[in-house]
Structure 1
């Protein structure tokens, strides 16, 4: 009787298919799995987060310009008095008494002439108060007592120089940056994979000519090309970054070409040629599927590259334009206000850097997981 049970054999310890073994290796890579979870959470936050926010990313709060981030609600007690003074000045009245009780404030206003009660609508136009309710009008209409509800607002990331909620803008910026990164990467993959596979499989003169075209495109200055795109396409950001993705395929084309040169000498490709399969079928059914490992790893590296490129272009004013925003736009605005409002730079930069780190860690994990030698 054998001393080794079937359950203890190596064949039963690992999943059977290469895909299952790759997934098992990826799960053992803690940094990659944590990055994958983080990216899923970040994507969900960018997609549904703005809809759950009480403030629209374009809403301007004139009474909360460059408000520091806080976990407690605004307005603060020291903000109520100055706001009432401004409203009273617009009503051409003087503040006689202010009494704050919970979420309401009672104000007594006096004037030399009769006060028009319709002017209490000015309270509602403030970001601090709701519609005022007149309690008493006395002294021949020259003394007016009103009760005004206080509107509690939360600005967890603070507000920008225009009084817009930075949390809402950071989430919508994440949606734009991730969308641009994914779109440009998809275009780069489609062009690069097809181009590299055709060049490598054809070989000879065709391969030489196609790769010399790649070398020529490498020599074109990136910024000059982007400026030309802005002139031709205008400020259409989606089209512009789709076009940017159309020049990011050069590295992928070279990588896939190298893989194809190795694969076309393998037995299964030679067998497919012997059976009369057309070159397009060989490329689509045998060459490209066997380069998926390299493609997936490079994709996780290309997405942060495109996001960084978008941030750089937006920093220069060539990318996303107002009222839409991206992490690059927010970082550019934060850099201009770093002395008096550091939160305008810290939060968008934190989101961008953490996403880039997660993508790179995931790329490292996928590289190890898709390498059979790592078993």
Structure 2
């Protein structure tokens, strides 16, 4: 019965489907470049994305922060010395309301000293506004870190690229030089440089850059040795491509991800090293401020004025964490082996 019903179906119930052979192998999804694919994977890393927003916010505050409250970071007003933080609006919540310790009692130091102004982060022992000085110090620390990292990238990529690409005796000589530099403690080199040069911004950048490029050069050399013997490089050399074209068009694009990742880890190292030098008195000299000098000044009065140490310590900690999380995210996004 069922077979008879099927045979009785009219021909118009059927529709012939034809396929266009020209569209049979068409890719419906748009193709992505390496960097577009890496960005899509990076966006899945919420910690890295949040760190990017935090880092951008800190950079913006470092640029505009010193101009927000109308106080000069170097102006000394001794009558306003050692004032605790006081922020308009927030003071009504019972925090950052200008209350401090005086003679073992908690009192409003702004009323006692008859100060009508607001100091959002308080003042130091010379009456200088800490809010302005903290963001000026952040600006200096970021400048030192970015310039030192840029110098490390340029020197490290050139040195490691030349050493790995040409190999042979050139590589042997250049690597012996690197081994000698590695054997000398970095702190000794930095101290000698700062003794020769006048302490300041330029001296710190040069001191940090003297040996900071070594790690980058060794990574670049290893990657060049890995890629220079592969087929696409041999094909380019067979077709008559010059050494500079092979390095610039074939080798560097393949190791650019490793360079970016290593740079993101170099920047927080430079920030921490600058803070360390300033903390031990070998960095910037007064009245210039960096996060390291602010922490050094705050360390001396930490017991009685903890707010002095709180703000620069929090900012340098957030910077270190943000750069490291972004570096981890970039490492996962740019490493083809981490594809999900």
TM-score normalised by the shorter chain: which range applies? Answer: 0.7 to 0.9
Q: How many residues align?
A: 302
Secondary structure at the counterpart of residue 63 of structure 1: helix
**Quick one: which of 26, 40, 52 aligns to 2:68?**
52
Give the Å deviation of 1:13.
5.8
Matched with 2:282 is 318
The residue correspondences of 1:1-375 to structure 2 (distance < 5 A) are 16-72=32-88, 128=115, 152-375=116-339
Does the 8 A contact of 1:32 with 1:365 survive in 2?
yes
Unaligned runs of 5+ in 1: 3-8, 85-127, 129-151
More helix by share: 2
Secondary structure at the counterpart of residue 81 of structure 2: coil
Q: Give the direction of change, closer, same or farther, for the CA distance of 1:258–1:83 in structure 2 (3 Å limit).
A: closer
Q: Distance in 1 between matches of 2:44 and 2:329?
A: 9
Matched with 1:134 is none
Q: Distance in 1 between matches of 2:163 and 2:98?
A: 65
Does the 8 A contact of 1:198 with 1:283 survive in 2?
no
Does the 8 A contact of 2:42 with 2:329 survive in 1?
yes
Give the Å deviation of 1:288.
1.7
Matched with 2:3 is none
More strand by share: 1
TM-score (norm 1): 0.76
Give the Å deviation of 1:12.
5.3
Does the 8 A contact of 1:55 with 1:165 survive in 2?
yes
Does the 8 A contact of 2:83 with 2:109 survive in 1?
no
**C-alpha RMSD of the superposition:** 2.3
Q: Distance in 2 between matches of 1:31 and 1:156?
A: 29
Give the Å deviation of 1:80.
7.8
Q: Distance in 2 between matches of 1:313 and 1:329?
A: 9
Give the Å deviation of 1:239.
3.9
Q: Distance in 2 between matches of 1:273 and 1:259?
A: 18
Matched with 1:135 is none
Q: Give the direction of change, closer, same or farther, for the CA distance of 1:198–1:68 in structure 2 (3 Å limit).
A: same
Q: Distance in 1 between matches of 2:207 and 2:286?
A: 21
Give the Å deviation of 1:156.
1.6
Give the Å deviation of 1:289.
2.0
Q: Distance in 2 between matches of 1:168 and 1:12?
A: 55
Q: Distance in 2 between matches of 1:81 and 1:284?
A: 66
